[in-house]
A and B are shown apart, each in its own frame.
Chain A
Amino acid sequence: ETGVTQTPRHLVMGMTNKKSLKCEQHLGHNAMYWYKQSAKKPLELMFVYNFKEQTENNSVPSRFSPECPNSSHLFLHLHTLQPEDSALYLCASSQGTGGWETQYFGPGTRLLVL
């Protein structure tokens, strides 16, 4: 499945580094999402964008900064992360943000913060 792509697939960074995660969807969708998936925790919704506008910020720390330049691309800028931020970061897209919409997930970026 190549509808939603994410790069990089793996990332190791120190707490003082700055890095960015990239997501691209080729499905013509209008909504894009960032989720965090940690071991033994449910999928945590971080941000929602609809038509490039942020519609949801789920109390995410400011060390995570999203950017959505257009409906096909979504970035997650990372700086001064903590070890507990190590997780799988999943991007998803859907046609709209209605609760009936099916979400299509990318393969994820597995992040390790040292």
Chain B
Amino acid sequence: GQQVMQIPQYQHVQEGEDFTTYCNSSTTLSNIQWYKQRPGGHPVFLIQLVKSGEVKKQKRLTFQFGEAKKNSSLHITATQTTDVGTYFCAGESGGSNYKLTFGKGTLLTVNP
């Protein structure tokens, strides 16, 4: 079945440093979504990427979808303590049987 892998599992940075998490799929994805879950909270939708090679930005966050639509990345520039949380990617490979598969997530901690 479809697998979505995320690395790293954990990342600890100093405030102001950059952060990147990577998402890789075993199959070509029709789209990829990114969610953020704050400690003690629930996943909240951040963004969706659909087109090959697509790049989207949200303030300090840059999301990228690979040319082959099998990988994606989330990059945060100059992290802040408010960026703390787990970042999940979720992908769906299309076809008649819908199943949005979530990665394990990357837990980001930021030292002030």
Contacts and interface: CB of A to CB of B under 8 A. Distances in A.
Contacts of A45: 99-100
Contact of A100 (B43, B50, B99): B50
Interface string A34-67: 0000001111010010000001100000000000
Contacts of A104: 45
Majority secondary structure of chain A interface residues (helix, strand, loop or mixed): loop
A73 to B, nearest CB: 18
A43 B94 contact: no
Contacts of B43: 43, 90, 103, 105
Interface in B30-70: 30-31, 33, 41-45, 48, 50
Given A1-B44, A45-B100, A108-B42, 9 more contacts: A42-B4, A42-B102, A42-B104, A56-B98, A99-B30, A99-B100, A100-B92, A103-B45, A105-B42
Interface of B: 4, 30-31, 33, 41-45, 48, 50, 88, 92-94, 98-100, 102-105
Interface of A: 1, 40-43, 45, 48, 55-56, 90, 97-108
